[in-house]
Structure 1
Amino acid sequence: MQKICVIGGSRYFGKLLVERLRAAGHQVTLINRGSTPPPAGVDHLVVDRHDEAALTAAFDDRTFDVVVDQVCYTPVQAAIAARAFAGRTRRYVMTSTIEVYDPATAALPAVPAGTPVSEETVDPATWQVAMDLPWHDDAYLEAHYAEGKRQAEAVFAHSGLFAFAAVRSAHVLGGGAQEFTGRLAHYAGRITQGEEITVHVKALPTVFIHYEELVDLLLWATTADFTGPFNACSDGPLDVHELAEIVATQADREPVYRTVPAGEEASPFSFDRHYAMSNARAKALGFSFSRTTDWLPGAVAEALAISAVPTA
């Protein structure tokens, strides 16, 4: 049994992670702003992570073996957490994102198209941090989501206050209505209703992970001892046409496409730039991934069930 603190964890895969940590016999403490109560048997600290004094005071004399941070988006949030948990945990696991590799949001080393992106492409130990940017402005943060994640990783990596690992998650799907971004539902609804899907002229592949597989990986990372970033994605990248065809086959419809040039907005998962990840490091450390095409049909079926329009 370990003492594990989860920051966030009130919805989607974070909620499932808390439930499975508790079921595995760990002593779990959940930190959030109180919008969602925790499962039975989970300690609950209601506090705003932006309030450093309140966060520190809420701990009282608590210490943890591991902290799992599900909702860290900026270097400011990371710096507050690093100071608050200094001396209170030996290990910190942050949920990060594939978006850190998006070449449209930062000057990154060139990766040949078709070559899966590896972790050293973005090294948090050398990434520059700028605390004076308007990270508290919601519009700025939304527009700089990838950079916020990169700099948050960097703060923890630079701190040296505890062992640090960053889980760079692929696009998360599955769970039906729990998948709150609605990206898979976008395809289910538009294909079912015969509406256009907007795709780039040359749409490049990306990678995905089922939300339950991501929870399995986070459980594994929580009790492991490796450090640094690692990519979390199922085997088998797909481009937007391959994704749409899987949806169309189950919906018994033909997808309708409208193409747009590179640089223009398109439907979710249509990318005009390459940054599909490699999961080789996680495999070498001992985690076994499923294939995207093994679980995606089930996730599509859930999305189709939600998007079904009753007929008279």
Structure 2
Amino acid sequence: MKTALVLGGTRFFGVKLVQALLSNGVKVTVATRGNSTSSFQGQVESIQFDRNQLESFQSAFNGREWDVVFDQICYSSIDAMNAIQVFQGKTKKYIFTSTLSVYDLLDKELVESDFDPYSYTIELKDKDEVTYQEGKRQAEAVFFQKAPFPVTAVRFPIVLGENDYTQRMTYYINKVIQEEVIYLRNLDASMGFINEDEAGEFLYWIGSYDFQGPINTCTNGTVTLKEFIKYIEEATGKEAKVEISSDEDNQTPYSIPRSWTMSNQKAIDLGFEFQDIHQWLPHLIQTVLKK
């Protein structure tokens, strides 16, 4: 991979992807709506476009080619269909950032075959007409059933990091510090995560690897919500006030009724070495706490 186009890439683990590409000598183009300032001024080529306007989408990339396109901002079947139209003949490979959310919440460790985008019925709808889960399912279905170029769908769990703009982990840290009640459905439910650095590195790595299809990408190990809260208690020196509740009005970001994890064995078999969650998560909580 000598050239890469990143759709998105100005925040969170998109930044980590661009860093990984640059560190490995890849010539990078970053394309965004221009609403966020890139931290790579002078290091990457920048393109401004509006994905929601097909004419803008087409004209922005007219006459250009890249070895790999990384799509961080595709949320619907229409997004995916337009991308196929725009990038047909312009790339050797397409990496689509997908999600654990394509799976139903099954009480098992999820594997790639638990959602099959190759047979999923396509319905052309905009992202505002579907849920986040359905939008990502539809995007995968379109790419794998319609794209004329090789596609990889990287299914991430919740991504954590210092630059997490969702502030979901910070929400829990602040609740403990302020001695406010945290409502959860099930303290024994396990979750899988990945950190922003590892997410960016994996995207670069799989872009350099000869692989097509969906692939689960998560750090090694899982944590129960009880363990997650305990790590925060240890970092803050305060005891969390937790109440078990199924009331929808009281629910918090990670309040799941049962475990939500997936297997990363396929990625491991391909040769990627993941970190261990119990090593980096406590350190990350300490780092966020100090900011």
Q: TM-score, normalised by structure 1?
A: 0.88
Task: Give the secondary-structure state (helix, strand or coil) at the position aligned to 1:190.
Answer: helix
Please say if 1:82 is aligned against 2:84: yes
Deviation for aligned residue 1:201: 4.3
Structure 2 Cα separation of the partners of residues 26 and 303 of structure 1: 31
Residue 265 and residue 66 in structure 1: after superposition, are their counterparts in 2 closer, same or farther (change >3 A)?
farther
Task: Give the secondary-structure state (helix, strand or coil) at the position aligned to 1:219.
Answer: helix
Structure 1 Cα separation of the partners of residues 159 and 186 of structure 2: 25
Amino acid of the structure 2 residue aligned with 1:116: E
Q: Deviations over 1:197-226 (max 9, x none)?
A: 111146521101111011111110111110
Alignment of 1:97-176 (within 5 A): 97-103=99-105, 111=106, 113=107, 115-131=108-124, 133=125, 135-137=126-128, 140-141=129-130, 144-175=131-162
Q: Deviations over 1:47-67 (max 9, x none)?
A: 111222222222232111110
Paired residue for 1:250?
235
Structure 2 Cα separation of the partners of residues 10 and 244 of structure 1: 30
The worse-fitting range, judged by mean Cα deviation, of 45-54 and 79-88 is: 45-54
Residue 32 and residue 261 in structure 1: after superposition, are their counterparts in 2 closer, same or farther (change >3 A)?
same
| Unmatched 5+ stretches in structure 2 | none
Task: Give the secondary-structure state (helix, strand or coil) at the position aligned to 2:226.
Answer: helix
Please say if 1:282 is aligned against 2:267: yes
Alignment RMSD (CA, Å) = 1.7
Paired residue for 2:27?
27
Residue 188 and residue 74 in structure 1: after superposition, are their counterparts in 2 closer, same or farther (change >3 A)?
same
Q: Assess if the C-alpha contact under 8 Å between 2:3 and 2:26 holds in 1.
A: yes
Deviation for aligned residue 1:264: 6.8
| Unmatched 5+ stretches in structure 1 | 104-110, 307-312
Paired residue for 1:61?
63
Deviation for aligned residue 1:277: 0.6
Alignment of 1:152-301 (within 5 A): 152-175=139-162, 178-201=163-186, 203-261=188-246, 266-301=251-286
Paired residue for 2:47?
45
Amino acid of the structure 2 residue aligned with 1:5: L
Structure 2 Cα separation of the partners of residues 224 and 64 of structure 1: 16
Deviation for aligned residue 1:159: 1.2
Structure 2 Cα separation of the partners of residues 34 and 189 of structure 1: 32
Amino acid of the structure 2 residue aligned with 1:19: Q
Task: Give the secondary-structure state (helix, strand or coil) at the position aligned to 2:78.
Answer: helix
Task: Give the secondary-structure state (helix, strand or coil) at the position aligned to 1:4.
Answer: strand
The worse-fitting range, judged by mean Cα deviation, of 274-283 and 147-156 is: 274-283
Task: Give the secondary-structure state (helix, strand or coil) at the position aligned to 1:94.
Answer: strand
Task: Give the secondary-structure state (helix, strand or coil) at the position aligned to 1:54.
Answer: helix
Deviation for aligned residue 1:165: 0.4
Q: TM-score, normalised by structure 2?
A: 0.94
Percent identity, aligned pairs only, is: 34
Residue 287 and residue 247 in structure 1: after superposition, are their counterparts in 2 closer, same or farther (change >3 A)?
same
Structure 2 Cα separation of the partners of residues 7 and 187 of structure 1: 31
Please say if 1:15 is aligned against 2:8: no
The worse-fitting range, judged by mean Cα deviation, of 37-46 and 217-226 is: 37-46
Task: Give the secondary-structure state (helix, strand or coil) at the position aligned to 2:262.
Answer: coil
Q: Deviations over 1:255-306 (max 9, x none)?
A: 1111113877522222114431111111011111111111001210122224
Structure 1 Cα separation of the partners of residues 226 and 59 of structure 2: 51
Q: Assess if the C-alpha contact under 8 Å between 1:171 and 1:208 holds in 2.
A: yes
Aligned residue pairs: how many? 289
